[in-house]
Amino acid sequence: MLAVMDRVPAQSLETLRTRTSEKWTAYPPDVLPLFVAESDFPLAAPVASALHAAIERSDTGYIGDDHGATTTSFAEFALRRWGWDVDPARVRTTTDVSVVIVEALRRMISPGDGVVITPPVYPPFFELIPEAGGRVVEAPLGRTDDGGHELDLDAIDGALASGAKAVLLCNPHNPLGLVHSRESLVALSEIVQRHGAVVLSDEIHAPLTHSDASFTPYLTVSDAAREHAIAAHSASKAFNLAGLKCALFVTAGDRMTQLVRDLPEEVEVRTSLFGRIATTAAFTHGDAWLDGVICAIEDNRRLLTTLLAERMPSVGYREPRAGYLTWLDFSALGWGDDPAAIALQSARVALNSGPTFGREGAGHVRLNIGCSAEVLTEAIDRLAHAAG
């Protein structure tokens, strides 16, 4: 466990409001923006230094061959953080994880094939599947005996038995911060293999797995998984690099490796040069900063537990074990299916609308805790006041 001094502090509101990203321009200044998955932490120093150096040498041209620097940096990061032995030759870059999903699915399925998702889940999944030519098939998360969530393996099995050809897995799961167990992923791989299906595992939140959880890369769970799956990775969520545009196709078996190698060259050369520079720096030199950010997020997840217990005890909440996004059940407040609308109007707090994550999101909101303790406290104070 890191010492208190090692925690990375969020930037001040005054500084944050000088940013020009969506989080800080979508709403008027009186709104606290706790919606989109962008954190309020400053750039990691190694990333900032790498970008400054690129500017100093006017390195703003077309992307070229970095001789495996980015893919190797990810492989070394994966080995350090998760004990995952990735072959850099089986990794390829592109612009962002959404592009990984669409470009991979286009070649993993045939037009009209069903692709299973597990709502409540990242809203763009509902749009990316049709963009790739597929058809959305829902197998909502199941509930555990203690009130938590887990993959409903029977529902996924049934969907594949009924003709779906692929599973778009969210691992760790957004918006719940749920870290799927190795056991459930092994079982999933057996189901998928039995049906001759494929898996695209979106693992963008994996670097933000908390200290009391263990992330399992899908490609490590079985020989079958290595042959039938592609994983999507990026430094963008953990290191706040979404605007720099760099993500990774990661494969482990010959079938999927060849599928990715057969993608048009343009899929790779659309990677941002700055994105690749920043990604390489983050994966190579960003561990200490990342550990400090995770400590700060863990502090906030516990603070949210306390604040809700004291000020909004009727709100349902389970602490996440990955990422800085939290899933709150506002049903008891009587704010309707989309409580984010009332939160914005009455409390001037911007949250993500629960129903956009699927039907299971009615009465829920997603709240971003990648901020300062002061901002989080102010947001809950405003929401509690609006709730009366």
DSSP code for 337: S
Q: Return the pLDDT at 6.
A: 84
Q: Return the pLDDT at 3.
A: 44
Question: CA distances (Å), 48 to each of 25, 39, 74, 95, 153, in order?
Answer: 23, 16, 18, 20, 43
Strand 316-317 relative to strand 247-250, pairing: unpaired
How does pLDDT run across 69-95, given as a tens digit for each residue?
999 999 999 999 999 999 999 999 999
Mean pLDDT rounded to a whole number for the chain: 97
pLDDT band at 190 (very low <50, low <70, confident <90, very high): very high
pLDDT band at 182 (very low <50, low <70, confident <90, very high): very high
Prediction pTM value: 0.97
DSSP code for 118: -
Q: What percent of the chain is modeled with pLDDT above 90? A: 98
How does pLDDT run across 264-303, given as a tens digit for each residue?
999 999 999 999 999 999 999 999 999 999 999 999 999 9
How does pLDDT run across 5-33, given as a tens digit for each residue?
489 999 999 999 999 999 999 999 999 99
Q: For residues 250-275, give the mean pLDDT.
A: 98
Residue 104 reports pLDDT greater than 80: yes
Question: CA distances (Å), 169 to each of 117, 178, 202, 203, 233, in order?
Answer: 7, 12, 6, 8, 13
DSSP code for 44: P
Residue 167: strand, helix, or coil: strand
334's CB contacts (< 8 A; 6+ apart) are none
The beta strand positions in 139-273, using DSSP E, are 142-143, 149-150, 166-170, 198-202, 229-233, 247-250
Q: For residues 102-120, give the mean pLDDT.
A: 98
Q: Return the pLDDT at 2.
A: 42
What is the rounded CA–CA span in Å between residue 231 and residue 264?
Answer: 18
Q: Return the pLDDT at 1.
A: 40
pLDDT band at 383 (very low <50, low <70, confident <90, very high): very high
Structural domains in the chain? 4-43+287-387 (3.90.1150.10), 62-285 (3.40.640.10)
DSSP codes, 45-108 = HHHHHHHHHHHHTT--S-----TTHHHHHHHHHHHHHH-----GGGEEEES-HHHHHHHHHHHH
Q: What percent of the chain is modeled with pLDDT above 70? A: 99
